[in-house]
Structure 1
Amino acid sequence: MSSEAMTQRPGLPPVADSEAWERQLAALRVREKAATRELDAIAAQRRRLPMVEMPDYTLVGAEGPVRLVDVFGGRSQLITYHHMWRDGAAWQCGGCTGHTSQYTRLGFLEPYDARFVIVTQGEIGEALAYRETVGNRMDWYSTAGSDFGADVGAPAGGGFAVNVFLRDGDTVYRTWHTDGRGTEQLSHIFPLIDILPWGRQEEWQDSPPGWPQSPTYSGWLDSPDIARRYGPG
Structure 2
Amino acid sequence: MSSETPSTAMPPVVDAEAWRRELDALRVREKAATRELDAIAAQRRRLPMVELPDYTLQGADGPVRLVDLFDGRSQLITYHHMWFPDSEWQCGGCTSFTSQFTRLEFLEPYDARFVIVTQGPIEEALAYRDRVGNWMEWFSTAGSPFGADVDAPAGGGFALNVFLRDGDTVYRTWSTTSRGVEQVAHTFPLVDLLPLGRQEAWQDSPAGWPQGPTYAGWLGSEDVARLYGPGGRSAD
Equivalence for 1:54: 52
Equivalence for 2:194: 196
Tell me the distance in 1 between the aligned counterparts of 2:179 and 2:83: 19
2:149 pairs with 142, 151, 159, which one? 151
1:40 pairs with 34, 38, 41, which one? 38
Equivalence for 1:116: 114
Instruction: Kindly indicate whether residue 14 of structure 2 is the aligned counterpart of residue 21 of structure 1.
Output: no
Equivalence for 1:90: 88
- Residue identity opposite 1:130 in structure 2: Y
The runs of at least 4 consecutive aligned structure 1 residues that moved more than 4 Å come to none
The TM-score normalised by the length of structure 2 is 0.95
Instruction: Kindly indicate whether residue 202 of structure 2 is the aligned counterpart of residue 208 of structure 1.
Output: no
The TM-score normalised by the length of structure 1 is 0.96
Tell me the distance in 2 between the aligned counterparts of 1:10 and 1:130: 41
* Other structure's SS at 2:135 match: coil
Tell me the distance in 1 between the aligned counterparts of 2:197 and 2:50: 39
Q: Deviation digits for residues 74-117 of structure 1, max 9, x if unmatched?
A: 00000000000011100000000000000000000000000000
Instruction: Kindly indicate whether residue 223 of structure 2 is the aligned counterpart of residue 225 of structure 1.
Output: yes
Unaligned runs of 5+ in 2: 1-6, 232-236
- Residue identity opposite 2:191 in structure 1: I
- Residue identity opposite 2:162 in structure 1: V
Q: Deviation digits for residues 139-164 of structure 1, max 9, x if unmatched?
A: 00000010000000000000000000
- Residue identity opposite 2:61 in structure 1: E
* Cα RMSD (Å): 0.6
Tell me the distance in 2 between the aligned counterparts of 1:39 and 1:221: 28
Equivalence for 1:180: 178
* C-alpha displacement of 1:10: 4.4
Percent of pairs with identical residues? 77
Aligned residues: 225
Unaligned runs of 5+ in 1: 1-8
